[in-house]
Chains A and B, each alone.
Chain A
Amino acid sequence: MSAKSGNLFIDSLKDAAIGGLIALALFSVLIGMKAEVASGLGGQLGIEYRWGAVAIAVAVVFAGRLLLNLFVWKAGTPVTQTAGRLIPSTQTLAPLAKYAMPVFLVLAVILPFLLMSAYGSRGSRQYLDLAILVTTYVMLGWGLNIVVGLAGLLDLGYVAFYAVGAYSYALLAEYFGFSFWICLPLAGILAAFWGIILGFPVLRLRGDYLAIVTLAFGEIIRIVLLNWYDFTGGPDGISGIPRPSFFGIEFNRGEGGFADTFGLEYSSIHRIIFLYYVILAMALITNFVTMRLRKLPVGRAWEALREDEIACRSLGINTTNTKLTAFALGAMFGGFAGSFFATRQGFISPESFTFIESAVILAIVVLGGLGSQIGVVIAAVVMIGGFEFFRGLEEYRMLVFGLLMVIIMVWKPRGLISTRTPSITLSGKKAKGISADLVQEGHG
């Protein structure tokens, strides 16, 4: 054993040294030299050398590789196996999942009052804002889940529908003076319409090609919004978007306002709480409709489409219409969320609808588990909430964020909640979830 461990140590040391050398070669250029406009030299370009940083980076690579070699890669019983046992398996989590849904729901409903009693109306504002943001992403995640999770169509341009919804409301309000509650359904219909427009050209595409076209579509919408200056205001965006009213009662100070009507003392938090309940209701409607659709023929056709498109066609399912309904419905919920976003912010510009938004929404769906509604909630809370939580780390939070995603994907490659619940059972009882290994991810 001692001889073997000696070999292990020497091997590991050699390997780590090679790794260190490669790191040195790479980092001496990448980190070691930094081109800088030296202010003292009248704007001349100079090179700043940072050999200390290179030494640290190389040392990290060397030590990290040595440790990994000793305890994971070359060790008899890798430490990851031991660590893996410490992480709870799916079986032990399954009974918890049953209670997760009602607990989340109750928590979501009483959240504003919890925060108010804990932090007061001034202190709770930032947490409520964060809760609104998270709920918006939950709704977007649920909308995208129809397209990606159920129908298995990879959509990288989902933010386009979010933008269509936001701009529909902003423009209708600006040009025609429509209120939020009239524009909300219109924004959904317009977004669904654009979903169908996108759907047609991509009907025949699968996999990578579908991803590229949807990605391009997202960018086209954003760039059109950016350049159509006369109509959309271009990069200046649209400001002064009207706020939603509570059955016609505005959240204003003074006579006729919300506080005045209900005999409360005026506080700006009322509007925030109202907005929170609006997005919560919208998200819950999205969830309800999606859960319902799963049990209807159209939902089963989506899932069948994800499993095997050719078999679907042999059974008389019109795959064109099925795909288009998935795109249209997913887009519609994106549009609803978009118009909420516009009314909450009061100002929108194409800046808010970049590709990174699509990527974040898709990441929420994938991390949560394709097709899982509760998974999306957990992933949105972790990702959006976590992102804000680590704000103190400044630029390093991206690093933490990336690491977190890698860990989740290593631990659970098919997302946090990866079992599929059957939409109907013969026995009438709740059936066992279907393991993700058997469920197809769709071909795009």
Chain B
Amino acid sequence: MNSWDNNPVLTIEHLTMRFGGLVAIDDLSFNVGRGDITALIGPNGAGKTTVFNCATGFYKPTEGRIIMNRSNGEHYLLERMADFQISAKAKVARTFQNIRLFGGMTLLENLMVAQHNPLMLASGYTIGGIFGLKSFKKAERDAVERARYWLDKTALIDRADAPAADLPYGDQRRLEIARAMCSGPELLCLDEPAAGLNPKESAELNALLQYIRKEHDTSILLIEHDMSVVMEISDHVVVLDYGEKISDGSAVEVKDDPKVIAAYLGVPDEEVDGVEEEVGI
């Protein structure tokens, strides 16, 4: 029994997602271990992003259960929750494959929006805020401090008051992670965080993810194509192909799995010959 099956933060059971006749995910089950960095890999069109969209409420799965086990002992069935509640209550945050920042707002404002729910509460649902409630002022200062902390950690502090759309690509990726972290998640879902990064930025990202996992007790589930990132930082790798799980294990186990090699590189010629003989071509 693997560590991720003993104490999972996220459990996906028999997840199936159909779009009309297309089966994007077929009876998928796996666990995301608490405190692990779990990588979800697979060729293009394998259904990785669909798994993310199901887990974060953007799609309603056709079948199956997605269970979030929070560290305080609460359990949430994510497939039944509205998308905004998944972030607010179940504490699952995500980033997007095509970066979705609030481009016309400054970096600081982006991080303030991420702390909407606690601030809304502190402002007495706006009414207290209009009259300048003291406790709201304090909550706002705390929120700014938290934003400053994450801007510092992602090395974006110098541009805190610049519009987010002005940032270079790599910085935008880091800002999106900082914004997700500002919502105080227990599980962080990253959709291709290293896409389009150069090797130096990629290494910095690895360090950032390790730091988040270690210092903030946040488990990470990531989709990635960059194998150097996957092999270096992930504790657990799940491989999808055509919506089905073909391999599940530690990075080393998965790397040598013939099914994974076949999915990524194709099968050796002898095997093709064997099959062709069987079929009779």
Contacts and interface: CB of A to CB of B under 8 A. Distances in A.
A315 B165 CA distance: 18
Contacts of B58: 310, 313-314
B77 interface: no
Interface stretch (B3-11, B27-35, B114-122): B114-122
Given A314-B87, A317-B84, A423 B109 contact: yes
B194 interface: no
Interface stretch (A17-25, A86-94, A383-391, A433-441): A433-441
Interface in B160-180: 160-161, 163, 165-166, 179-180
Contacts of B157: 426
B76 interface: no
B123 to A, nearest CB: 6
A313 B126 contact: no
Q: Assign chain B's interface to a size class.
A: 35 or more
Contacts of B88: 316, 318
Contact of A316 (B116, B129, B160): B116
Contacts of B84: 312-313, 315-319
B158 to A, nearest CB: 10
Given A316-B87, A438-B165, A438-B166, A300 B148 contact: no
Given A314-B94, A425-B161, A307 B105 contact: yes
Nearest to B86: A316
A317 B113 contact: yes
A438 B116 contact: no
B16 interface: no
Contact of A315 (B105, B147, B179): B179
Interface string B92-130: 011010001111111011001111110110010010011
B116 A297 contact: yes
Interface string A263-306: 00000000000000000000000000100110011101101101
Quick one: which of B105, B119, B157 has the most chain A CB within 10 A? B105
A44 interface: no
B83 A440 contact: no
B130 A438 contact: no
B177 to A, nearest CB: 13
Nearest to B110: A304
Given A292-B130, A311-B101, A313-B83, A426 B113 contact: no
Contacts of B103: 307-308, 438-440
B153 to A, nearest CB: 15
Contact of A426 (B101, B108, B163): B108
Nearest to A432: B161
A424 interface: yes
**Interface of B: prevailing SS:** helix
B183 interface: yes
A292 B129 contact: yes
B161 A303 contact: no
A431 interface: yes
B247 interface: no
A312 to B, nearest CB: 7
B219 interface: no
Contacts of A316: 84-88, 116-117, 183
A325 B119 CA distance: 16
Contacts of B101: 307-308, 311
B94 A426 contact: no
Contacts of A434: 104-106, 163
Nearest to A422: B106
Contact of A314 (B83, B106, B147): B83
B201 to A, nearest CB: 22
Nearest to B140: A424
Contacts of B180: 314-315
B49 interface: no
A397 interface: no
Given A297-B126, A298-B126, A307 B108 contact: no
Nearest to B108: A426
A308 B100 contact: yes
Nearest to B139: A297
B279 to A, nearest CB: 46
Contacts of B160: 425-427
A206 B56 CA distance: 23
A425 B116 contact: no
Interface string A404-444: 00000000000000001011111100011011001110000
B144 interface: yes
A315 B116 contact: yes
A206 B103 CA distance: 20
B223 to A, nearest CB: 15
Given A297-B123, A314-B56, A422 B105 contact: yes
A297 B140 CA distance: 9
Contacts of A292: 129-130
B99 to A, nearest CB: 9
15 contacts: A296-B129, A300-B109, A303-B102, A308-B100, A312-B84, A312-B113, A315-B114, A316-B88, A420-B104, A426-B147, A427-B160, A431-B106, A434-B105, A440-B103, A440-B104
Given A313-B84, A314-B56, 16 more contacts: A292-B129, A297-B120, A297-B126, A304-B105, A304-B113, A307-B101, A307-B103, A314-B87, A316-B86, A317-B113, A319-B84, A426-B151, A427-B160, A435-B163, A438-B163, A440-B103
